[in-house]
Amino acid sequence: MFKDMVKEVKPSTVRFLKGSAVDVSLGFGCAVQVETSEGKWENFRSFYSEFYAKITMELSANDASKRIKIDGDVTDLRAIRVKIFKQNESMVAEETALTMMMNMGLGMAKAQAKKLLDIPQMGYPTIKK
């Protein structure tokens, strides 16, 4: 869909790193195609974006109380690249403004993410023979 418009489209990835860290790269895009004449389709608008997140997770067990605790934190969260096209023309000013706004919003979301990743303690699983 973006073969002639976006250079270096990379697949989304999930990597497990040292120190209980996971890093995730997510790329996605969408386009609105319109039929301008019988059987002829043209790109009306399209959007492509790549995001990056690095998350740490800590798992600890307490054998005395038979409880498992999971703590997590988002150490990095940002929009790497945003591309906006009207027909086949890149809208650089819109891309720059949207990237800046997205990173401001993601910065605020990163601060709240630790609360979402604090999973309540849970008991050890029960295993039956």
Q: Within its chain, how far is the Cα of 82 from the centroid? A: 13
Cut 0.85: pTM above it = no
Q: Is residue 102 part of a domain?
A: yes
Q: Which domain holds residue 64?
A: 13-119
- pLDDT, residue 3, reads 62
Q: Is residue 128 part of a domain?
A: no
The tally of domains found in the chain comes to: 1
Q: Is residue 18 part of a domain?
A: yes
Q: Is residue 7 part of a domain?
A: no
- pLDDT, residue 25, reads 93
- pLDDT, residue 96, reads 92
* Torsions phi, psi for 26 (to 5 deg): -125, 120
Tens digit of pLDDT per residue, the chain (129 long)?
A: 566 667 777 788 999 998 889 999 998 888 888 998 898 888 888 888 999 999 888 878 878 777 888 778 888 999 988 989 888 788 999 999 999 999 999 988 887 877 777 777 777 777 777
CA torsion sign for 78, 5, 29, 25 is: negative
